[in-house]
Structure 1
Amino acid sequence: MRFPTVEPELGDPVRTIGARTFDFSRQVAVMGIVNRTVDSFYDRGATFALDKAVGAALQAAEHGADWVDIGAVPFSPIAERVDERAELDRLLPVVEAVRAGTDAVISIDTFRAEVARQALRAGADAVNDTSGLHDPDMARVVADAGATLVVTHSRAAPGRELARPHYDDVVAEVGAYLLDRAGRAVAAGVAKDRIVVDPGHDLNKNTMHSLELTRRLGELAVLGFPLLASVSNKDFLQETLDLPRDDVAEATLATVVFCVLAGARIVRVHDVRAVRRVVTMTEAVLGWRRPAVLRHNV
């Protein structure tokens, strides 16, 4: 599939995000998920309390997360509504505390430009906008801060349901959307080497759409920006195996490896320790890193 593009070449695969530098030609960044919400689809409020959220973020870094993604507003349209003030009250103390405890990249999962502005001032390095720049001021806020922007494919407005989503070709449509939104970000002043794209598995998509995105992920890995895959414990894994969300750990790991082999260079996950080991092993098999030790038959 061929897409219109800002510039198709990925160019220099080295990206500096916050205090960390990544060579995406031979390295995969692990992003740990921390939700300060009462009704996130996976942890159901386990990290809502401030101390729990901070502890989970720092533990993720200790377990090998290169990047911690902190959110306070669930994507689901049936979740509790959280206004801007409440979102800021939940996020800012977590960002400040985590920033004091680690040099890992910190991103904020938000669709609100003002929340992004204040979180970046508090110490965040990136914004993970799962709404695809729904707020027209978002790209400019990120540009002014010199921060990194994750542009995600989703079609409905934040908090709104998209019933029975239809795509003639989900990969082609997602690719065109991501390039359009990346182009808007560049026009607003975000540097091209500060943009990451995410096809948005399950976001306004059904299981067949998410499986096809995964199968053809390589077509999106050449758009000109590092590709993030957020597949951890998602509905399409649960429905494929007909298992509950707390029983798809193996499916998550298998899908993460598939995404890395297809070109994903950032993986957003709940179980950081397990995924860090899987990613490290994958990098070693690909010849991107040496084993930590050599003892057998040496």
Structure 2
Amino acid sequence: MSLDLSSEHWPLIMGILNVTPDSFSDGGRFNRSQAAVERVRQMISEGADIIDIGGESTRPGAPAVSEEEELARVIPVIEAIRRDSAIPISVDTSKPAVMHAAVVAGASLINDVRALQEPGALEVAAQLDVPICLMHMQGQPRTMQANPHYDDVVEEVLAFLQQRIEICQAAGVAPARLILDPGFGFGKTVQHNLALFRHLQRFVDTGHPVLVGVSRKSMIGKLLGERPVDERLAGSLALATLAGWLGAAIVRVHDVRESADALTLCRAVRQA
């Protein structure tokens, strides 16, 4: 199913489905195809507009996963979901072979934390007629939170994304296919994340849809006095609602029903 990114539907809710054994929030729970399909059915009933499937954890310190392993984790799940549902599927990957196989299997969005910087990724993505989310990350998952530094985090992240937009366009990717993600928590301190959130309008003003992913992240835990992952719902909903109010096109969440309720009310007030 194709993904409708027209602004009258914003913010769309992207439900997270990690088919990995080591993701920070739900690792190992949905790595069997039937369990994944049942979880997707639940998320659809709760209000998800998109399902984001990832086969390689990008949490801080996460080990790399081979192309073969990622394909084995992701493709059977995409095929099973596509047989069961028409909901748009996003594939969370940086590997060109996984991008191509996922779209062939039925994915309709590429969500790349490395913004198509891996060898061959730009060329493959340009050939695939689906939207692409370009995310900013300082460093790599294993070390990105060791000592992130910026002179001006908003300007530097924005400049990086603008550069990637230009590179994508030069490679033949239509601007209308590009979505931007400031990369909350990817090589950023809590203060960096707050600055990016406070100035989210700068990213919205580019004219490209903006994706915000902060659900259950460590910044919430730290701001709430070191809350564990399973006690970050209220904080996640607060930031999801702020993202919707500030013009985010897509909000990536673990808690679909609660986020859908919050964003329905946010949308109602914005449209009143």
Look up the match of 1:126.
109
Aligned runs of 1:55-134 on 2, under 5 Å?
A: 55-134=38-117
Structure 2 length as normaliser, TM-score?
0.94
Give, in whole Å, the separation in 1 of the partners of 2:41 and 2:167: 34
| Aligned-pair identity (%) | 37
Distance in 2 of aligned mates of 1:211 and 1:27 = 22
User: CA offset at residue 126 of structure 1?
Assistant: 1.1
Q: CA deviation at 1:27?
A: 2.4
C-alpha deviation, 1:191, in angstroms: 1.2
Matched AA of 2:101: Q
Point out where structure 2 has 5 or more consecutive residues left out of the alignment: none
Runs (4 or more) in structure 1 with deviation over 3 Å come to 157-162
* Deviation at residue 159 of structure 1 after TM alignment: 4.4
Task: Tell whether the 8 Å contact from 1:238 to 1:248 is kept in structure 2 after alignment.
Answer: yes
Q: 1:33 aligns with which of 16, 22, 38?
A: 16
Instruction: Report SS of the residue matched to 1:220.
Output: helix
Q: Which moved more, 1:21-30 or 1:116-125?
A: 21-30
Aligned to 1:285: 269
Distance 1:193-1:257 versus aligned 2 partners, 3 A rule: same
* Cα distance, 1:245 vs structure 2: 1.0
* Corresponding residue number in structure 2 for 1:267: 251
| Residues 274/162 of structure 1: CA separation in 2 closer, same or farther (3 Å cut) | closer
Pick from 2, 21, 32 the counterpart of residue 49 of structure 1.
32
Match of 1:212 in 2: 195
CA distance in 2, matches of 1:22, 1:220: 16
> How much has 1:215 moved relative to structure 2?
1.2
TM-score normalised by the chain length of structure 1:
0.86
Tell me what 1:23 maps to.
Answer: 6
The 3-state SS of whatever aligns with 2:204 is: coil
Find the aligned partners of 1:217 and 1:22 in 2 and give their Cα distance: 18
Superposition deviation, residue 121 in structure 1: 0.8
Residue 53 of structure 1 and its aligned partner are, at CA, apart by 2.1
Structure 2 match to 1:250: 234
Alignment check: 8 A CA contact 1:171 1:216 kept:
yes
1:155 to partner: Cα distance: 2.2
Match of 2:152 in 1: 169
Alpha-carbon displacement from aligned partner over 1:140-180 (angstroms, at most 9, x marks no partner): 21221211100000122454545211011111111111111
Listed one character per residue, the Cα deviations across residues 17-41 of structure 1 (whole Å, up to 9, x for unaligned) are x434243155211000000111101
Q: What residue in structure 2 maps to residue 293 of structure 1?
A: none
**For 1:138 and 1:286, how far apart are their aligned partners in 2?**
37
State the Cα distance separating 1:259 from its structure 2 match.
Answer: 1.1
- 1:236 equivalenced with 2:229 (yes/no): no
Is residue 2:173 matched to residue 1:190?
A: yes
- Report if the CA contact (8 A) 1:134-1:157 is conserved: no
Bigger CA drift: 62-71 or 52-61? 52-61
Partner of residue 201, structure 1: 184
Structure 1: gaps (5+ residues): 1-17, 289-298
Residue 272 (structure 1) shift: 0.8
- Separation in structure 1 between the aligned mates of residue 60 and residue 269 of structure 2, nearest angstrom: 41
Aligned twin of 1:147: 130
CA distance in 2, matches of 1:65, 1:152: 21
Where does residue 120 of structure 2 map in the other structure? 137
Moved more, 149-158 or 263-272: 149-158
Amino acid at match of 2:112: D
Q: Which has the larger share of helix?
A: 2
Q: Does the 8 Å CA contact 2:18/2:27 hold for their aligned counterparts? A: no
Residue correspondences, number:
271
